[in-house]
Structure 1
Amino acid sequence: MVLESVAFDIETTGFGVDDAVTVVGFAVPMGVRVFVQTGGRSVTGLETRVRERVDEHVVVSVHESERELLEGVGEFVGRRLCDREVLLLAYNGERWKSGFDLPFLRTRLAQHGLAWPFSDVPYADLMPLISRRFNTTRSDASGDESQSDLVGVYETLCGGEYSGLDPFEASKEAVSAFEAGRFGDVVVHNVADVLRTQALGRLAESYCSKSDFNVKSLTPTITDS
């Protein structure tokens, strides 16, 4: 059985427990689904502006708060991913400082009293797979340097098709852009990252065995069902 890969990535206001999720994006075979919250600020025509900058089909939903964003993500995951033949993919989703995307989501969902949405969803982190199964070392005048971040690995292995799409040189710029209300830039950055993750996932599927993916279940020990 071949699972349909769905890449995902999040943006936040920082790395602390009191920081908030600002964007969650999923790259599915038919395009990209993005959820963005505005912190109560009004915005119109965001999806249209994003589509003008992105060649892929993109659907954007705008939410006034983090809680509403997380509720929207939960509805989407329950409808589109749960009990389906899909494989959720992230790059460094659980490894940066012992984890980023999934641990961050767990904390924010718990603080809002919202249920974990990824029940019955298999998951694989691409970062350890790429580091073990591909050579990402670049040589230059300063010596050999192994690439490990998403952008560097993507540039090395996939050729950088989405490099010109990203409005930021570094992911931390998404924080100041969100604070300034530049929601279009933050969404396009997230789209670029989920497309990079999707491309690396497809590359890994073409060159690695199923056992290399180290697939795990995201179903919690206790569920409501």
Structure 2
Amino acid sequence: MGDLTPLAFDIETSGLEPGSVITVGGLAFDLGAWLVLNTSGRHADANRLETVLEDQTGSTVHVTVVDDERALLTALADCAAERVDGDRHYLTAFNGEVWKGGFDLPFLRTACVRHNVDWPFPDVAYADTMTMMDRFDTGDASDLEGVYEVLIGNDYCDPFADSGAAVDAFKNEDWVPLLLHNLADIQRTRELAVLAGRYIPKSDFKMKNLEPPNL
């Protein structure tokens, strides 16, 4: 893995059934985080959301508001092009993409196909944080919240017990708790990846390049 530093990625969706869309995409950097909110044409004030999130978390957060999923994908690609450097960073997520499964990256790929847009993460390495956690003894804990509690245990302003509540928040236009949940997930994921970088052998970071061969 060299000296690559982790950038944590996470999405929220409107559900798991066919036709569900990405509602939030988030990236956590070493300094601050970036969130894009898809309102599906409803109103949200990006400046107000930034202020509330920063007041409640003490984090530096940039919020972009868009009207639909296609615009979310475009904003994500623009942010990645500007801030993701394949020579310095690797992308990570918790169960984002693992052998025979994962959620975030497969869902993102399907959304890109649906809108005929290019993959937003060309030429960047990926390693899944959940796989890294296999190298720690976390007892019965296996999800992000449980593993984080065992290994790090800092408090986070996550209003939801699980990601399922994010579906209802999107339907009800509860933008602040929806964004707080995504922010908590990407920050916890990045902290776990940083911890893994201190204790896990380089050979156990199962990295792959996300660039499609025909991009």
Report the TM range for the smaller structure's normalisation: over 0.9
Match status 1:104 vs 2:101? no
State the alpha-carbon separation in 1 of the partners of residues 213 and 106 from structure 2. 16
CA displacement at 1:47 relative to structure 2: 1.7
Residue equivalent to 1:154: 148
Asked if structure 2 preserves the Cα contact closer than 8 Å seen for 1:50 and 1:188, the reply is: yes
Q: Given the alignment, which residue of 49, 54, 62 partners 1:51?
A: 54
Residue equivalent to 1:140: none
Asked if structure 2 preserves the Cα contact closer than 8 Å seen for 1:26 and 1:194, the reply is: yes
Q: Write out per-residue CA displacement over residues 34-55 of structure 1, whole angstroms, 9 at most, x where no aligned residue.
A: 1111110012222222222111
State which drifts further: 210-219 or 95-104.
Answer: 95-104
Residue equivalent to 2:189: 197
Unaligned runs of 5+ in 1: 138-145
State the alpha-carbon separation in 1 of the partners of residues 180 and 68 from structure 2. 19
Residue equivalent to 1:184: 176
State the alpha-carbon separation in 2 of the partners of residues 178 and 95 from structure 1. 27
Q: 1:18 to 1:97 in 2, by over 3 A?
A: farther
State the alpha-carbon separation in 2 of the partners of residues 97 and 12 from structure 1. 21
State the alpha-carbon separation in 1 of the partners of residues 8 and 128 from structure 2. 10
Provide the aligned C-alpha RMSD in A. Answer: 1.4
Residue equivalent to 2:7: 6
Q: 1:198 to 1:83 in 2, by over 3 A?
A: closer
Q: Counterpart of 2:127 in 1: which secondary structure?
A: strand
Asked if structure 2 preserves the Cα contact closer than 8 Å seen for 1:82 and 1:118, the reply is: no
Q: Which amino acid aligns with 1:167?
A: P
Residue equivalent to 1:175: 167
- Pairs within 5 Å for 1:65-144: 65-95=68-98, 98-131=101-134, 133-137=135-139
CA displacement at 1:3 relative to structure 2: 0.8
Report the structure number with the largest CA radius of gyration: 1
Residue equivalent to 2:210: 218
Q: Write out per-residue CA displacement over residues 156-202 of structure 1, whole angstroms, 9 at most, x where no aligned residue.
A: 1111332xx10111210000011000011100100000011011011
Asked if structure 2 preserves the Cα contact closer than 8 Å seen for 1:118 and 1:218, the reply is: yes
CA displacement at 1:134 relative to structure 2: 0.5
Asked if structure 1 preserves the Cα contact closer than 8 Å seen for 2:86 and 2:125, the reply is: no
CA displacement at 1:84 relative to structure 2: 3.7
Q: Write out per-residue CA displacement over residues 13-50 of structure 1, whole angstroms, 9 at most, x where no aligned residue.
A: 11234110010111101111111111100122222222
Q: Counterpart of 1:8 in 2: which secondary structure?
A: strand
Q: Write out per-residue CA displacement over residues 203-223 of structure 1, whole angstroms, 9 at most, x where no aligned residue.
A: 101111111111100010101
Higher strand share: 1
CA displacement at 1:4 relative to structure 2: 2.0
Q: Normalising to structure 1: TM-score of the pair?
A: 0.90
Residue equivalent to 1:142: none
State the alpha-carbon separation in 1 of the partners of residues 172 and 87 from structure 2. 38
CA displacement at 1:68 relative to structure 2: 0.7
CA displacement at 1:117 relative to structure 2: 1.3
Q: Normalising to structure 2: TM-score of the pair?
A: 0.94
State the alpha-carbon separation in 1 of the partners of residues 76 and 213 from structure 2. 21
Q: 1:55 to 1:96 in 2, by over 3 A?
A: farther
Q: Which amino acid aligns with 1:117?
A: P
Q: Counterpart of 2:185 in 1: which secondary structure?
A: helix
